A and B are shown apart, each in its own frame.
Chain A
Amino acid sequence: MFRLLEDDRGRMESTVTIEIDGYPVIARIGETVASALLREGASWSRTTPVSGARRAPYCMMGVCFDCLMLVEGEGLVRACQTLVRAGLKVQRQTGPRKVGPSC
Chain B
Amino acid sequence: MKAGQATTAVIGGGLHGLACALALVQRGQDVVLFERSWIGRRASGATAAGVRTLWRDPAEIGLSLEALERWYRMDALVGDDCGFWAGGQIKVAESHAEMEALAARAARTRDLGFHHEELIDTRELRRLAPMISEHCVGGLIARRDGAADPHRTIAAFRRAVEGHGAVIREGISVMALEPEAGGWRVVTDAGNWAVRHVVNAAGAWGGQVCRMVGEVIRFGYKASMVFVTERVQQAFGPVFSTVGRPLSFKQSSQGTLVVGGGIQGWADLEKGSTQVDFRALSRGAAAAQALFPAIRNVQIVRAWTGLEGKTPDLLPVIGPSARAPGVFHTFGFSGHGFELVPLVGEIIADCIMHGRSRYDIGAFDVARLLT
Contacts and interface: CB of A to CB of B under 8 A. Distances in A.
Asked if A and B form a direct contact in the complex, defined as CB atoms under 8 angstroms apart, the reply is yes
Contacts of B233: 95-99
A76 B299 contact: yes
Given A96-B231, A99-B235, A100-B131, A49 B294 contact: no
Residue of B235, B297, B298 with highest tally of chain A CB at under 10 A: B297
A103 B294 contact: yes
Interface in B216-270: 230-233, 235, 255
Interface residues of B, number: 14
B295 interface: yes
A103 B292 CA distance: 12
Nearest to A48: B231
Interface of B: 131, 230-233, 235, 255, 292-295, 297-299
A60 to B, nearest CB: 19
Interface string A82-103: 0000000000000111111101
B298 A99 contact: yes
Contacts of A97: 230-233, 298
A8 interface: no
Contact of A76 (B131, B230, B235, B255): B230
A99 B292 CA distance: 10
A74 B164 CA distance: 52
19 contacts: A49-B231, A73-B297, A75-B298, A75-B299, A76-B297, A76-B298, A95-B233, A96-B230, A96-B232, A96-B255, A97-B298, A98-B233, A99-B233, A99-B235, A99-B292, A99-B294, A99-B295, A100-B131, A100-B235
A88 to B, nearest CB: 15
Contacts of A101: 131, 293-294
